[in-house]
Structure formats: C-alpha cells, structure tokens
C-alpha cells in the first residue's frame, strides 16, 4: 500500500497503463507528453497500471523492436522519463511478469534496482491510501490469484484491458484505463486519465475523470459523479479496512 498526500480538500493525479515498451507499437514519445501534461498541470503523482514492458514471448517476438530482456531493461532505464517533482507509482502486469514466470529473470527487480524513482507496487494488485480512503489498483495476471488481502474499497483503477470505460456496480466505481500505446482497442487513441477526487470531512465526496488524447491534447470524454450519498457506507468500509490492517 502506498499513501498519497494532499494538503487541499482534493487530490489530482494522472493514470497511465499498458505502455508495452519495446513493442514496435509503443509510444515512448507520448509517455513524455504525459509527464509534460502532469508538470504543466502541477500534478504530483503518476499512477502506472502495468504492462510497462512488452517483455518476450514466442507469440510476440515479431512485434518487438528490442527482443532480449536485458536490452529491454536498459531501454526503459535510459528512456523512461525522470522527474524531480512527480512521483511515479508502478503496478506491474502480466507482460511484466512473463520474464519471471517463463525465464526466471526478474526484469522488474532489475529496473527497480536502477530506477528507485519508479516506486514498485508489485504485481497485479495493490492499494493506495488517501486520507484513509482506499483505492484498489489492479492488473489481471492469470497466474497470480488471491495474492493480496482483499480489502473492500469504493474505487478500483484497472489496467490490462486497453479500453477506457467507467462502470458503477453495487455502488463501486470501476475505472478501466486506456493504453498509452498504439496497441489500442475500439479505436481509442493513446490516452491518459486525469483524475480529481474531492473530499468532504476527509472522505471521498466527488470524482472527476477526464480521458485525454495526449497526442492531440484534447479531452475526449469526461465522467463526474457526486458520492456524498455514499458517505455512510464509505465510513463503514474505512472502519472495516482499519480493523483488517
């Protein structure tokens, strides 16, 4: 779990996902634009929801511009943006896990050892804490199931699906992040999510999500909902989570 801080009555951050760096269709140029966007908007956090690497598998070898795992790590070490003002949290996904699963080579550890600025949240699932409000981060990995304590939360941010959508199910908000690459689905251009969460008495009260086509620098979709009516339920969730920690 990682804690995000804000002295204001709201917090803003961007979400990126499924970069698939070292694939021929990666967009490292747009990754730099994402950080420029965060800097311009004075955002202090970037949350990366996984598949940072494309890694190597027989089925994707012809799609790679860099094929060896060591060279992929070197590429990411040298080319992933640095920032003195923005913290980057990385939840790693199934492509990142391939090297460990099939070749017993932990490219995530290699990267983390060289780039401590990329905060390693592990594989598949983790949580962020904002004023004792909890958000689940998730990137599906079939080979890893039930590997984290399943805390009940109000908002879940999901990578892996390459397709932006927001769904509400049983008073929970599920935010599916688009891919920041040209490995896109449903003709959604390479995009980032700009998320703002407002607080009332230090509890979630509103969430605003802008889907930004970062190449064109335009907002293509916006979602906004007031969640004051869930305050009582959310307070119970917070108390339950504290008991489990």
Instruction: Give the highest mean pLDDT range of 14-28, 138-152, 164-178.
Output: 14-28
Kindly report, residue by residue over 128-149, the tens digit of the pLDDT. Answer: 999 888 999 999 998 776 555 6
pTM confidence score: 0.91
Distance CA 167, CA 218 (A): 22
Q: What is the pLDDT of residue 231?
A: 44
The CA-CA-CA angle for residues 76, 139, 175, to 5°, reads 110
237 pLDDT higher than 50: no
Kindly report, residue by residue over 170-225, the tens digit of the pLDDT. Answer: 778 999 999 999 998 777 889 999 999 999 988 899 999 999 999 999 999 999 99
% residues pLDDT > 90 (the chain): 76
Kindly report, residue by residue over 32-67, the tens digit of the pLDDT. Answer: 999 999 999 999 999 999 999 999 887 787 899 999
Banded pLDDT at 228 (limits 50, 70, 90): low
% residues pLDDT > 70 (the chain): 89
Query: According to CATH, what is the number of the domain 2-244?
Result: 3.60.21.10
Every domain of the chain and the residues it spans: 2-244
């Amino acid at each position: 779990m990682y804690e995000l801080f804000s002295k204001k009555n709201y917090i803003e951050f961007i979400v990126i996902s499924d970069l698939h760096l070292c694939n021929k269709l990666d967009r490292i140029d747009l990754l730099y634009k994402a950080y420029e966007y965060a800097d311009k908007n004075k955002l202090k956090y970037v949350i990366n929801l996984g598949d940072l690497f494309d890694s190597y598998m027989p089925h994707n070898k012809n799609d790679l511009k860099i094929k060896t795992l060591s060279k992929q790590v070197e590429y990411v070490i040298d080319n992933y943006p640095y920032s003195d003002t923005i913290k980057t949290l990385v939840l790693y996904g199934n492509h990142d896990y391939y090297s460990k699963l099939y070749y017993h080579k932990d490219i995530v550890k290699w990267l983390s050892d060289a780039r401590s600025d990329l905060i390693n949240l592990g594989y598949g699932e983790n949580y962020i804490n904002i004023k004792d409000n909890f958000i689940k981060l998730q990137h599906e990995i079939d080979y890893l199931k039930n590997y984290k304590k399943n805390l009940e939360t109000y908002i879940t941010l999901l990578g892996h699906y390459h397709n932006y959508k927001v769904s509400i199910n049983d008073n929970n908000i599920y935010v599916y992040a688009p891919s920041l690459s040209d490995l896109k689905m449903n003709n959604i251009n390479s995009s980032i999510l700009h998320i703002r969460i407002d607080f009332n008495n230090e509890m979630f009260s509103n969430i605003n999500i802008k889907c930004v086509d970062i190449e064109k620098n335009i907002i293509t979709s916006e979602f906004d909902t007031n969640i004051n009516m869930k305050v009582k339920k959310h307070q119970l969730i917070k108390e339950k989570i504290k008991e489990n920690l």
